[in-house]
Amino acid sequence: MSEFLGLANDDCIERLRKKAKTDDGRAQIERILATLSVQEERVLRMRIGLPVAGGLKSVAEKYSVPMERIREIENRARLCLNRR
């Protein structure tokens, strides 16, 4: 998943959304999401669209945290993905 290294969060999320549209891509994402913390996994699932895509604002509202906190979680998760 080093393909996400250096990408901005929105670019990373968009690539993951595209990848999730194929069965193989979705299976790969599921395996990787299973290695993240519960918080990182939930946020990325919503942002990627597994099962339904949510924007930064809607994810932040769902978890009652500022949008900046969601960005921080995405950054941490992206770093984890880059190490794999």
pLDDT tens per residue, range 41-50:
888 888 888 8
DSSP assignment, residue 3?
G
Residue 10 has pLDDT above 70, yes or no: no
- Residue 28 class from Cβ within 10 Å (0-12 exposed, 13-18 middle, 19+ buried)? middle
Question: How much is the average pLDDT of 58-73?
Answer: 90
Position of tokens 């918080």? 39
CA angle 5, 69, 50 (to 5 degrees): 65
**Rounded to an integer, what is the distance from CA 66 to the centroid of its chain?**
17
Whole-number average pLDDT of the chain: 79
CATH code for position 75: 1.10.10.10
Count of domains observed in the chain: 1
The range of the structural domain enclosing residue 42 comes to 2-82
Give the type of residue at 23.
Answer: D
pLDDT digits (tens, 9 = 90+) for 50-61: 877 778 888 889
Q: Which is higher by pLDDT, 53 or 33? A: 33
For residue 35, which phi and psi values (nearest 5 degrees)? Answer: -90, -10
Q: What percent of the chain has pLDDT over 90?
A: 8
